[in-house]
Amino acid sequence: MPRKTAKKVQTVGVRAPMPQALSPQLATLADAIPRTGDWLYEIKLDGYRLMARFEHGRPALITRRGHDWSAKMPKLIKELAALGIESAWLDGEVVVLREDGVPDFNALQNAFDQNSSGNIVYFLFDVPYFNG
Q: What is the pLDDT of residues 58-93, one digit of tens each?
A: 999 999 999 999 999 999 999 999 999 999 999 999
Question: Virtual CA dihedral for 89, 59, 109, 44, nearest 10 degrees?
Answer: 20
pTM of the model: 0.80
List alpha helices for 1-132, DSSP H.
74-81, 105-113
What is the per-residue pLDDT for 32?
A: 83
Q: CA–CA separation, 118 vs 49, rounded Å? A: 17
Check pLDDT > 80 for residue 123: yes
CATH architecture of 48-130: 2-Layer Sandwich (3.30)
What is the per-residue pLDDT for 104?
A: 94
What residues are labeled active site?
44
Check pLDDT > 70 for residue 15: yes
As a whole-number percent, the residues of the chain with pLDDT over 70 amount to: 88
